[in-house]
Amino acid sequence: MRIAGRRVTAKTVLLYVIVLTVTMVMLMPFAWMLSASLKLSRDVFAFPIEWIPSQPQWQNYVDIWTKIPLALFIYNTSKLTIIVTLLQLLTSSFAAYAFAKLNFPYKNTLFLGYIATIAMPWQVYMVPQFLLMREFGLNNTHLALICLQAFTAFGVFLMRQFYMSIPTELCEAARIDGMNEYQIWARIMLPLSKPALSTLTIFTFVSTWNDFLGPMIYLTKTELKTVQIGLRMFISQYSAEYGLIMAASVVALVPVLVVFLALQRFFVEGIASTGLKG
Give the pLDDT band of residue 237 (cuts 50, 70, 90). Answer: low
Other Cβ atoms within 10 Å of 209 Cβ, number: 23
pTM as predicted: 0.84
**For residue 275, what pLDDT is reported?**
46
Task: Compute the average pLDDT of residues 131-143.
Answer: 89
**For residue 90, what pLDDT is reported?**
93
The number of helix segments (H) and strand segments (E) in the chain equals: 14, 2
Give the pLDDT band of residue 87 (cuts 50, 70, 90). Answer: very high
pLDDT digits (tens, 9 = 90+) for 13-69: 888 889 999 989 988 888 888 888 888 888 888 888 888 888 888 888 998 898 889
**For residue 278, what pLDDT is reported?**
42
In this structure, which long-range contacts are made by residues 217-220, counting pairs with CB atoms below 8 Å and at least 24 apart in sequence? Answer: 217/126, 217/130, 218/130, 218/133, 218/138, 218/139, 218/140, 218/141, 218/144, 218/145, 219/140, 219/142, 219/145, 220/140
Give the pLDDT band of residue 205 (cuts 50, 70, 90). Answer: very high
Task: Compute the average pLDDT of residues 143-158.
Answer: 90
Least confident stretch, 63-72, 169-178, 232-241: 232-241
**For residue 260, what pLDDT is reported?**
84
Cis peptide before 105 (omega within 30 of 0): no
Reply yes or no on whether the pLDDT at 4 is more than 60: no
**For residue 8, what pLDDT is reported?**
66
**For residue 277, what pLDDT is reported?**
45
Q: Answer yes or no: are the C-beta atoms of 101 and 185 closer than 8 Å.
A: no
Reply yes or no on whether the pLDDT at 92 is more than 70: yes
Average pLDDT, the chain: 85
In the chain, the percentage of residues whose pLDDT exceeds 70 is 92
Task: Compute the average pLDDT of residues 218-244.
Answer: 85
